[in-house]
């Protein structure tokens, strides 16, 4: 278990990076300004991370792991969507950054692809495997767009309403 001071240092660095990413892209953030914002020295930064990008990857991986842990416990697609929504909402600031950055879709696409591998896709109707695979790909892309819109529009609906809406869309699409 990490020392309290180490946890605090990592927390303020993460908060500083998130705050700076609201102002400019990750590629333009320097270690100097990150350390100044977090009120730590450069040596302390280098004890934990190699670069701002390294810190970003740690934050992203942490969020990814939280989502995977949550969805790993669910077999029901509606509950799976609910878990993703709840986790994104619980990490609002970083979720907004992920979706506003170029390539931000990659993160949630990785989550959806992994959930597909872990859970498979079961249509409520007997359909051929090729159609089921394309249907899942279609739903995956649509869910990605819905998650992005939801996050970038300020989480206006509750996670429950959004997951229920996504589930209803899937039901409509799979009614062949």
- What pLDDT score does 154 carry? 95
Q: What was the pLDDT predicted at 172? A: 85
Per-residue pLDDT 10s for the chain (176 aa) are: 779 999 999 999 999 999 999 999 999 999 999 999 999 999 999 999 999 999 999 999 999 898 888 877 777 888 888 998 999 999 999 999 988 887 777 877 787 777 666 555 555 555 677 877 787 788 888 888 899 999 999 999 999 999 999 989 888 877 75
Q: At what angle do helices 105-119 and 92-100 cross, to 10 degrees?
A: 110
Query: Helices 4-21 and 31-38: crossing angle, nearest 10°?
Result: 120
* pLDDT of res. 130: 83
- Give residue 138's pLDDT: 84
Strands (E), 28-156: none
Contact predicate 64/111, CB 8 Å: yes
Backbone angles phi, psi at 122, to 5 degrees: -115, 115
Residue 148 CA, distance from chain mean position? 10
- Domains in the chain, please, with CATH? 4-49 (1.10.10.60), 65-173 (1.10.357.10)
Per-residue model confidence (pLDDT) at position 176: 55
Short-list 22, 167, 18, 171, CA closest to 85:
167
Query: CA–CA separation, 71 vs 149, rounded Å?
Result: 21
How far is residue 1's CA from residue 104's CA, in Å, rounded to a whole number? Answer: 31
- DSSP state string for 44-110: HHHHH-SSHHHHHHHHHHHHHHHHHHHHHT--SHHHHHHHHHHHHHHTHHHHHHHHHSTTTHHHHHH
pLDDT at 11: 95
Distance CA 153, CA 171 (A): 25
Q: How far apart are the first and last CA of the chain?
A: 52
pTM of the model: 0.82
Which tokens is 62 given? 């942490």
């Amino acid at each position: 278990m990490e020392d309290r001071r180490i946890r605090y240092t990592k927390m303020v660095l993460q908060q500083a990076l998130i705050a700076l990413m609201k102002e400019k892209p990750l590629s333009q953030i320097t270690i100097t300004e990150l350390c100044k914002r977090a009120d730590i020295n450069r040596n302390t930064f280098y004890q934990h991370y190699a670069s701002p990008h390294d810190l970003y990857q740690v934050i992203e991986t942490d969020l990814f792991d939280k989502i995977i842990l949550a969805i790993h416990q669910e077999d029901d697609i509606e509950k799976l969507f609910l878990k993703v929504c709840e986790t994104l909402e619980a990490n609002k600031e970083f979720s907004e950054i992920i979706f506003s950055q170029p390539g931000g879709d990659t993160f949630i696409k990785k989550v959806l692809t992994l959930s597909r591998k872990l859970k498979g896709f079961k249509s409520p109707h007997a359909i051929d495997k090729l159609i089921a695979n394309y249907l899942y790909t279609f739903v995956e892309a649509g869910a990605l767009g819905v998650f992005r819109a939801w996050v970038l529009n300020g989480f206006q609906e509750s996670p429950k309403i959004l997951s229920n809406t996504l589930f209803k869309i899937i039901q409509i699409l799979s009614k062949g």
